Structure 1
Amino acid sequence: MKYLLFLVIFASIFSCSDENESAPTSTPNLIVKLNFDANQQRLDNLGQPATIPTGNAAQTPIIQKMSANYIELAPDRFTQIGEGEIIYSGAETSAGGNLAIDFQQAILAGQDDTFVTIPLSQISSGTYDWIRVSLSYQEGKINVLTDAAGEVTGTLASFVGYNNYITNFDLNGSNISVNDDKPQGFWAFEALGFTVQGQAPEGATTVPNPLFDSSPIPQGSCIVTGEFNNGFTITGNETQDVVVTLSFSINNSFEWTEVNIDGKYEPSAGEQVVDMGLRGLIPLVSN
């Protein structure tokens, strides 16, 4: 009897386990991931192939973190900013005086990390040919030539959003205190335990937009536009997660003016940062 009772209990446990495993545990999501591609084509503001201007030099950084404050799906090339399907909006604040991206609440994601997960049920059904991503922050490694230590590798934090409210942030172990709004192009750099801050010229940040003629973006924004291959369709009947990987070109995306024509970034020689923008976006869809 004890043996039969044990078999009944054992069978019941496994029967319940099978039922629980077969039952759906969640609704399908749109999972947005980030990817930084050093070999992806380098584009200009119009989405055309771009070379490095005479008198400038550039290098490809190793991007470690990135953030965005706005993602929008656009059905076609004539869909204006804000008229598509806005699937993500980051936190904003007026604590610094003007409306700005609240960096303290920003989501940071690294290479091939998930940036945001959105239930597919919250996204309107339809076919979308384009995606717009308003980038706000990127952090990574660059090489710098110094007088004292020769060529060193440091960490660059660049704020590329339209306006950025920053209290403080950690840069490779060094605390950077700001407590103010900073416009697009503000940057901080750390190497060997030392930090320095600066500001790229207004309008210098490259923001590739292949839809420049039909759907222009606001001046000073960092809304990068990319085209889906064969479109991106949401039917409303999905039963599995869908992954969209945002592949950003970092091909020679850190650019400066040359004083010593050697292809090395030398701040001590008076070489100035002129561009920290990304150089293109390709959205890739998978399940």
Structure 2
Amino acid sequence: MNWRVNLFIVFVLMAFFSCTDKDDELVNEEPQLIIKFQFDENQIRLNNLGQPSSVPLGNAAQSPVFNSISAHYFELAPNAYTQLGQGAVLYHAPETLQGGDLAIDFSYSKIVSEGEVFLSIPLSQVTQGNYEYVRVSLSYQNYNVSVLNSGIDYSGVLESFVGYNTYIATHSIGNNIFNVNANKLQGYWAFALNEYPYSTFGQAPQNATTVPNPIASTSPIQPGSCVVTGKFLESLLINGTEARDVVVTLSLSVNNSFEWEEVNFDGKYEPSAGEKVVDMGLRGLIPSYVK
């Protein structure tokens, strides 16, 4: 056997084992349940009971442009009678007592943008069953809003903490650093202008944050939490035979989700006039999936 034949055999063997290794890698990749967020300013605007809602008289609102979001709890619920925590709880972010009472530990929050993977869970770890609802506890929002000052419109970034209670050491918006080192109840926010040296922070009224729950009559949530509930158009079946990823997209309504009390009735947010933020809650959840 000459050297050309030997060399040919070596190449064939290398190609075989290379392809075999790649095939093994593909076979060994376990299918995942993947969770992503998207934001929709045209999605129906709901109230706490999951019913269509308009902006109250005396208030004004705008649909913010979202940069990122975080959540600290995710659950699949079989039906409208499944009580919170009795479904398939697939995620619960770290909490701490550092600020006194139990609170979400913001330093461990996973913050993602639209379409980015928030959770990836092996489907083998998801209890088999038929799921009609998703329950997700939102904890942090980062978005752009427009403000009016001295007749001039400005753009800025607002960070909104809507979890039941959050321990925050520090957080920042651009070069603006906010040293908190304390627990903050639902409704704490901070704001900074883009390209201008101005920043401020505040607290929305207690229990004023909207948290849509269309099954409130059969499966209520505690006041002050931010467990938003949404129903699949077609139930999600997990039967243990999935050979590929299941991607669940959580479409959140940002339709006029940033709301304030008007002082000057012009539909523009003007904090210098004393206009106060009253609601930063997402306005509905429509989950969907692709298998």
TM over 0.5: yes
Unpaired runs of at least 5, structure 2: none
Match of 2:236 in 1: 232
Query: What is the identity, as a one-letter code, of the residue corresponding to 2:158?
Result: L
Match of 1:78 in 2: 81
Question: Once structures 1 and 2 are overlaid, which stretch shifts more, 204-213 or 168-177?
Answer: 168-177
Question: Once structures 1 and 2 are overlaid, which stretch shifts more, 172-181 or 35-44?
Answer: 172-181
List 4+ stretches of structure 1 deviating above 2 A: none
The answer to whether residue 242 in structure 2 is matched with residue 241 in structure 1 is no
Question: Once structures 1 and 2 are overlaid, which stretch shifts more, 15-24 or 92-101?
Answer: 15-24
Match of 1:47 in 2: 50
Match of 2:214 in 1: 210
- Partner-residue secondary structure (3-state), 1:189: strand
- Partner-residue secondary structure (3-state), 2:233: strand
Offset at 1:20? 1.8
Offset at 1:25? 3.2
Query: What is the identity, as a one-letter code, of the residue corresponding to 2:12?
Result: A
- Partner-residue secondary structure (3-state), 1:45: coil
The answer to whether residue 107 in structure 2 is matched with residue 99 in structure 1 is no
**Distance (whole Å) between structure 1 residues aligned to residue 37 and residue 7 of structure 2:** 51
**Distance (whole Å) between structure 2 residues aligned to residue 242 and residue 174 of structure 1:** 39
Query: What is the identity, as a one-letter code, of the residue corresponding to 1:233?
Result: L
RMSD: 0.9
Query: What is the identity, as a one-letter code, of the residue corresponding to 1:275?
Result: D
Query: What is the identity, as a one-letter code, of the residue corresponding to 1:2?
Result: W
Could you report, residue by residue, the CA deviation over 1:176-200 in whole angstroms, capped at 9, with x for unpaired residues? Answer: 1111000000000011232101000
* Correspondence 1:107-146 to 2 at 5 A: 107-146=110-149
Match of 2:15 in 1: 14
Offset at 1:143? 0.2
Query: What is the identity, as a one-letter code, of the residue corresponding to 2:159?
Result: A
- Partner-residue secondary structure (3-state), 1:54: coil
- Partner-residue secondary structure (3-state), 1:208: coil
Query: What is the identity, as a one-letter code, of the residue corresponding to 1:158?
Result: S
Offset at 1:26? 1.3
- Partner-residue secondary structure (3-state), 1:177: strand
Query: What is the identity, as a one-letter code, of the residue corresponding to 1:142?
Result: V
- In the alignment of these two chains, the number of paired residues is 286
Match of 1:199 in 2: 203
**Distance (whole Å) between structure 1 residues aligned to residue 32 and residue 115 of structure 2:** 17
Offset at 1:258? 0.7
Unpaired runs of at least 5, structure 1: none
Query: What is the identity, as a one-letter code, of the residue corresponding to 1:177?
Result: N
Query: What is the identity, as a one-letter code, of the residue corresponding to 1:140?
Result: Y
Match of 1:221 in 2: 225
- Partner-residue secondary structure (3-state), 2:283: coil
| Percent of aligned pairs with the same amino acid | 50
Could you report, residue by residue, the CA deviation over 1:165-216 in whole angstroms, capped at 9, with x for unpaired residues? Answer: 0001121232111110000000000112321010000011000000010011
Match of 2:269 among 241, 265, 276: 265
* Correspondence 1:272-283 to 2 at 5 A: 272-283=276-287
Match of 2:91 in 1: 88
**Distance (whole Å) between structure 2 residues aligned to residue 171 and residue 101 of structure 1:** 20
**Distance (whole Å) between structure 2 residues aligned to residue 94 and residue 150 of structure 1:** 43
Offset at 1:150? 1.4
- Partner-residue secondary structure (3-state), 2:75: strand
Could you report, residue by residue, the CA deviation over 1:120-157 in whole angstroms, capped at 9, with x for unpaired residues? Answer: 1111000010010000000010000012x711000000
The answer to whether residue 187 in structure 2 is matched with residue 158 in structure 1 is no
**Distance (whole Å) between structure 2 residues aligned to residue 13 and residue 38 of structure 1:** 54
Query: TM-score if structure 2 supplies the norm length?
Result: 0.97
- Partner-residue secondary structure (3-state), 1:11: helix
Query: TM-score if structure 1 supplies the norm length?
Result: 0.98
Question: Once structures 1 and 2 are overlaid, which stretch shifts more, 230-239 or 157-166?
Answer: 230-239
Question: Once structures 1 and 2 are overlaid, which stretch shifts more, 149-158 or 183-192?
Answer: 149-158
